[in-house]
A and B are shown apart, each in its own frame.
Chain A
Amino acid sequence: MQKITYAAECPECASAVTIEAEVRVSEIIECTDCRSELEIVSTEPPELALAPEVEDDWGE
């Protein structure tokens, strides 16, 4: 099966991050180079931002 992917630049280390086609906005992925947690801020065009820090009131 062919997998469609996109590339975007990591805002932390500037390396190219591969994004799978089925990602959704506000999903968190990890940069394989610098291990930063990145948020998908847009899919068309693919755009990444550093994910927000976990806050004290997050969770179930």
Chain B
Amino acid sequence: MDSVTPRLGILASRVRYEEKSIMAALERRGAEFEYLDPRSLSVVGAAPREAPSFVFNREIGHFRAYYAASALESAGVTVLNTAAATRVTGDKWHTSAALLGAGLPTPATALAMTPDAALKALEEIGYPAVIKPLVGSWGRLVTRVTDRAMASAVLEYVAALPSPQSHVVYLQELVPKADRDIRVVVVGGTAIGAMHRRGAEWRTNVARGAVSEHCPLSRSHAELAVSAAAAVGADIAGVDLIEDEEGRVTVLEVNGQVEFRGFQEAEGSRVDVGDSIAALLIARAAA
């Protein structure tokens, strides 16, 4: 083995709280790593000799994250999460398809190939429903529609969007208690903790000002979250669960580029997310 070449690389064009906490944990554990900026990355054929053999992908942009992972893998680099997992978790439909394929409970979801077809699909799903962009997060452009007239108006805007991909419409039933969800963080096949997110509005993303608080991790929630992460092929995932009025729990989302600042703040000393991730990276890079 080449002792000069660092084996572990961290790919991230933005170093946020999460990346800093993972890097600090690696340093505390005495693990060497190299920071890689995807904005200056290109892969031509085989990986350069000095490139790390194991890369942790923390790129914030979905397309850059997916293609960087794919290009690195094609050059023989091991990437975590894998390119395949990043492709699935970065796209709401691929995620739904993976959950449905694994037989896991998820809210009623439809994919319509045109805005017109979406209007028909909404008749089956019923109102209120949610129209979500396939790619993107932080609750951006996620629109709740309460009746046909409103859906029709929203879909008219969708039809006018320039990108062909935006004309494929992802629709989902609105789970009644959607103002409060459960975020479970899964690291290497283990659920390390859970938190409640309560939003003033119906989107509960922390990026939109939702309040997060610690939640005891039940065995059934842990098992469902671990199964959901496995279904999308993600080693590290933030799984969002939602409980309806009858107490039925479904998987709402599986996020592959977990943001865990709110989670860590809610968990306090119960769990150290950065350190859990660092431990997994060290184990995998050495494997």
Contact = CB atoms under 8 A, between A and B. Distances in A.
Contacts of A60: 137-138, 238, 255-259
Interface of B: 12-16, 19-20, 23, 35, 37, 60-63, 90, 133, 135-138, 140, 207, 238, 255-259
Contacts, number: 58
- What's the dominant secondary structure at chain B's contact region? loop
A44 interface: no
B13 A59 contact: no
A58 B61 CA distance: 4
Contacts of B207: 59
B12 A26 contact: yes
A58 B140 CA distance: 10
Given A24-B20, A26-B37, A57 B136 contact: yes
Interface of A: 24-28, 40, 52, 55-60
A40 B19 CA distance: 14
Contacts of B14: 26-28
A12 B177 CA distance: 45
- What's the dominant secondary structure at chain A's contact region? loop
Given A27-B20, A58-B60, A58-B138, 7 more contacts: A26-B15, A26-B37, A55-B61, A56-B136, A56-B140, A57-B135, A60-B258
A19 to B, nearest CB: 13
A42 B37 CA distance: 12
Contact of A24 (B23, B61, B140): B23
A59 to B, nearest CB: 3
A3 to B, nearest CB: 17
Nearest to A39: B14
A27 B15 contact: yes
A26 B13 contact: yes
Contacts of A56: 133, 135-136, 140
A57 B61 contact: yes
Centre residue among A40, A52, A59 by max chain B CB count within 10 A: A59
A40 B140 CA distance: 27
Contacts of A27: 14-16, 20
B148 to A, nearest CB: 28
A59 B257 contact: yes
B257 A25 contact: no
Contacts of B37: 25-26
B137 A58 contact: yes
